[in-house]
């Protein structure tokens, strides 16, 4: 769980927060002051939405309301923030996986559910390949079946090689050793940092 301001391209900044296998990014801005304001809105969203209550019965509506409230408290409109979302999960088979980015919170949450529901490599691979081929709001590139399968299989091979170099026990690709690594929810934890982009 973290928050940051990152250079997304030369002289352009974006704010981001992550919590509960969800990564939220702001629109880009050339101003560090503007990026800090966007970061404050995202941090407040995480505080409001990051614990169990917001993920319970209210579901998507509760998270959307938390986001709107965070914007209001910081003095931004939703269009000022223009957030994008992706699901992030960690598995024994491929390490950390980040879904495509979408402008739809409901789409990112659906991807998160699908990836976390997988209990074998075959199920996870199928879900990930399918997600990479889906149309999504926000304009990120949709892959063909061949491209999606190649990306997923390359990530799994890279992860196995990395584990072999470290001497770690490889995950059984046919097994049911899925693990989602969750950190305890602590909405008060907030350590802003500025990351420099490598150019």
Domain count, the chain: 1
Tell whether the model's pLDDT for residue 45 goes beyond 70.
Answer: yes
Residue 165: what pLDDT? 86
The per-residue pLDDT for 115 is: 95
154 neighbors 162 (Cβ within 8 angstroms): no
For the stretch 50-63, pLDDT in tens is 665 555 545 788 88
What token pair was written down for 8? Answer: 């997304």
Which single residue is written with the structure tokens 């072999």?
Answer: 164
Q: How far apart are CA 199 and CA 9, in angstroms?
A: 9
| Residue 87 domain boundaries | 2-195
Among 95, 162, 85, 98, which residue's Cα sits nearest to residue 128?
98
Q: Which of residues 78 and 7 earns the better pLDDT score?
A: 78
What is the per-residue pLDDT across 168-185, written as a single tens digit (0 to 9) for each?
665 544 443 333 333 333
pLDDT at 60: 81
Per-residue pLDDT of 119-131, as tens digits, reads: 999 999 999 999 9
Q: DSSP string spanning 43-61?
A: HHHHHHHSSGGGGSTTHHH
Output the six-digit token pair for 67.
């986001």
Q: Phi/psi class of residue 166: alpha, beta or left (left: φ > 0; alpha: ψ in -120 to 50)?
A: alpha
77-106 pLDDT, tens digit per residue, is 999 999 999 999 999 889 999 999 999 999
pLDDT (tens digit per residue) in 68-77: 999 999 999 9
Q: What is the pLDDT of residues 117-168, one digit of tens each?
A: 999 999 999 999 999 999 988 767 899 999 999 999 999 999 989 888 887 6
Q: What is the pLDDT of residue 108?
A: 93
pLDDT of 5 reads 64
Amino acid 198: pLDDT:
31
Angular region, 82: left φ>0, alpha ψ -120 to 50, beta rest: left
Q: Which residue has the tokens 């938390």?
A: 66
DSSP 142-158: PPPHHHHHHHHHHHHHH
Q: What is the pLDDT of residue 138?
A: 76
pLDDT digits (tens, 9 = 90+) for 11-39: 689 999 998 899 999 999 998 999 999 99
- Measured at the alpha carbon of residue 178, what is the angle toward residues 173 and 182, in degrees to the nearest 5? 145
Spatial distance between the Cα atoms of 36 and 5, rounded to a whole number of angstroms = 7
The verdict on pTM exceeding 0.85 is no
Q: What is the pLDDT of residue 164?
A: 86
């Amino acid at each position: 769980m973290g928050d940051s301001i990152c250079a997304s391209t030369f002289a352009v900044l974006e704010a981001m927060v992550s919590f509960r296998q969800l990564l939220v990014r702001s629109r880009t801005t050339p101003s560090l002051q503007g990026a800090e304001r966007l970061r404050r809105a995202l941090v407040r969203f995480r505080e409001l939405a990051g614990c169990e209550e917001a993920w319970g019965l209210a579901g998507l509506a509760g998270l959307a309301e938390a986001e709107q409230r965070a914007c209001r408290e910081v003095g931004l409109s939703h269009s000022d923030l223009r957030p994008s979302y992706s699901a992030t999960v960690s598995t024994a088979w491929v390490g950390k996986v980040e879904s495509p980015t979408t402008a739809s919170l409901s789409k990112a949450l659906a991807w998160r559910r699908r990836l976390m529901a997988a209990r074998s490599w075959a199920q996870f691979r199928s879900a990930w390949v399918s997600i990479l081929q889906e149309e999504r709001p926000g304009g990120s590139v949709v892959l063909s079946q061949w491209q999606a399968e190649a990306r997923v299989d390359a990530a799994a091979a890279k992860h196995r090689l990395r584990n072999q170099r470290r001497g770690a026990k490889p995950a059984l690709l046919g097994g049911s050793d899925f693990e989602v690594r969750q950190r305890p929810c602590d909405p008060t934890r907030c350590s802003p940092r500025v990351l420099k982009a490598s150019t």
